[in-house]
Amino acid sequence: MIRNHGPLAMRRRCLRLFSVAAVLAATSGLSFAGAYEDFFRAVKVDNADKVKSLLARGLGPNLTEAERGDTGLMLALREHSMRVFDLLLNTPGVDLAAKAHNGDDALMIASFKGNEAAVAALLAKGAEVNRPGWTALHYAAAIGNNNIVQMLLDHSAYIDAESPNKTTPIMMAARGGHIMTVKLLLDAGADATLKNALGMTAVDFAKAHGYTDIEEGLIYRLKKAGKL
């Protein structure tokens, strides 16, 4: 039999090859989509075995979900999926500095959740404490968790860090009515005379939210220090 190696035959062969490639690409895409959904579903229910299996199949540890832009590590913290958190934290290549759409990172989420074990673990792995804008210290002060506040300060957290509108951690503590956190920050050297973009000090935050004890305590300390 004489084989046809002419232009038409070559064209048909190329078309077949392109068709096969397209099918493979589509199949691969569907497979990834399924694995992607399985990954975040497993994170939410703290199924570390499933997450480990997906990572072993080549799924990256820094995938982000669409709604918030959370990585698996961040979502594990939000859902208190601590087995998955531990697994991802110790996975080579995990990005501790990754940010969600709103700018939060894993350390900030752990601090806001009051998850002391997670904060300690992230700090031990070298998570960055200081960054522009909102920080983990703002969040820990906002919920009044003194253990986390102290951990962050022990890792050189900037005590007067300014949010985008220049709000500081002591302002957040005063706003939340956390008198012992206010005291901790003052004792550690926080500047209660600073003002945010609206011209409000920690005293103003305490007054605006009805925390008279904090307001009076701050005024006493400022007068004693000769700053008022």
Q: In the predicted model, is pLDDT for residue 3 greater than 50?
A: no
Question: What's the pLDDT score for residue 228?
Answer: 86
Convert the pLDDT of each residue in 156-172 to its tens digit: 999 999 999 999 999 99
Q: In the predicted model, is pLDDT for residue 27 greater than 60?
A: no
With bands split at pLDDT 50, 70 and 90, how would you rate the model's confidence at 34? Answer: confident
DSSP string, 110-146: HHHTT-HHHHHHHHHTT-----SSS-HHHHHHHHT-H
The Cα–Cα gap between 206 and 95 comes to 37
Question: What's the pLDDT score for residue 204?
Answer: 98
Which is more confident, 7 or 43?
43
Question: What's the pLDDT score for residue 124?
Answer: 98
Helix (H, G, I), strand (E, B) or coil at 71: strand
| Rama region for 53: left / alpha / beta (φ>0; ψ in -120 to 50; rest) | alpha
Q: In the predicted model, is pLDDT for residue 17 greater than 90?
A: no
Mean pLDDT computed over 75-82: 98
Q: Which CATH class is domain 43-128?
A: mainly alpha
Question: What's the pLDDT score for residue 15?
Answer: 43
pTM summary value = 0.85
Question: What's the pLDDT score for residue 6?
Answer: 57
Question: What's the pLDDT score for residue 61?
Answer: 95
With bands split at pLDDT 50, 70 and 90, how would you rate the model's confidence at 203? Answer: very high
Question: What's the pLDDT score for residue 48?
Answer: 98
Convert the pLDDT of each residue in 133-159 to its tens digit: 999 999 999 999 999 999 999 999 999
Show me where the domains of the chain are located. 43-128, 148-228
Q: What is the mean pLDDT of the chain?
A: 89
With bands split at pLDDT 50, 70 and 90, how would you rate the model's confidence at 2? Answer: very low
Whether 43 contacts 62, CB under 8 Å = no
Which are the contacts of 82, defined by CB distance < 8 A and separation ≥ 6?
Answer: 46, 76, 117, 118
Whether 192 contacts 202, CB under 8 Å = yes
Cα 212 from chain centroid? Answer: 33
Superfamily of domain 148-228: Ankyrin repeat-containing domain (1.25.40.20)
Helix (H, G, I), strand (E, B) or coil at 40: helix
Whether 156 contacts 144, CB under 8 Å = no
Question: What's the pLDDT score for residue 20?
Answer: 37
